[in-house]
Structure 1
Amino acid sequence: MITPTPTPDRRRRRSHDPSTALYYQLDACRRSAGLDALLLSDRDGLCIAAAGDGESCDEFAARISIMHPGRHRFEGELWTDVDRWDVHVCRFELDGFEMSLCAVGGLADDRASQVDRSLRGVARILAA
């Protein structure tokens, strides 16, 4: 009988608390790509979880909720009162709730890949 080889678990930090687990997930993706921030928000612009400057993430969440309504994914610029940020946003639905995952800063390819990577982790954490 052949025994399947277990897939290695790359997570270094774990938590049974969903809020902490979401932070760990977002922060790992943010750090690996050198992003300024990675955040999860609801459709109304409330920041659910974030890795990066908390005050900035709250503002990013509010602003991306009104950017490009109806688009599932978009890449562009987000302007605040003091700065301009490159972003990659993915809107998705989980259990009937519309959410957005937004990568801020870094390189375009890194933003896109880390949003995809983080999306899998966020879905796993929220499904638990």
Structure 2
Amino acid sequence: MRARTVVLIATLTALLAACTERTNYNTLLIQADSLMNLQPDSALHALESIPTGRLNTETDRAYHALLLTQARDKNYIRQTDDSLIQVAVRYYDSMGDATMKARAYYYWGSVCRDMNKILVDDKN
């Protein structure tokens, strides 16, 4: 009876360790977003600690790109390349979320400002 209890506890401990080792990056992105206005330096640190290779969905990659661009802007870091924000702009252009699309375009404009680049509307 006692050996069974020890084996059961050891098995449950191993299962718990295996389940908790995975990180839910979407939760980290949401937490970073919530820090953005009051503690943009903390948001930037959290976003930079997320390995981009571990962002498995296109949604997470676009959200991360948007938040990282926003955090850099709020921390007065001059951005000289718009490839990161372009990930978010392309994604939110294809989705129906007008709020996120506007946010992506706003920060694309901020990056263009940093680059002394003028946006041209090719659609008209």
Same topology, TM > 0.5: no
| TM-score in terms of structure 2 length | 0.30
| TM-score in terms of structure 1 length | 0.30
Q: Which structure: greater strand fraction?
A: 1
Q: Which structure: greater helix fraction?
A: 2
Structure with max Cα Rg: 2
Q: Which has the higher contact order (CA 8 A, sep 6+)?
A: 1
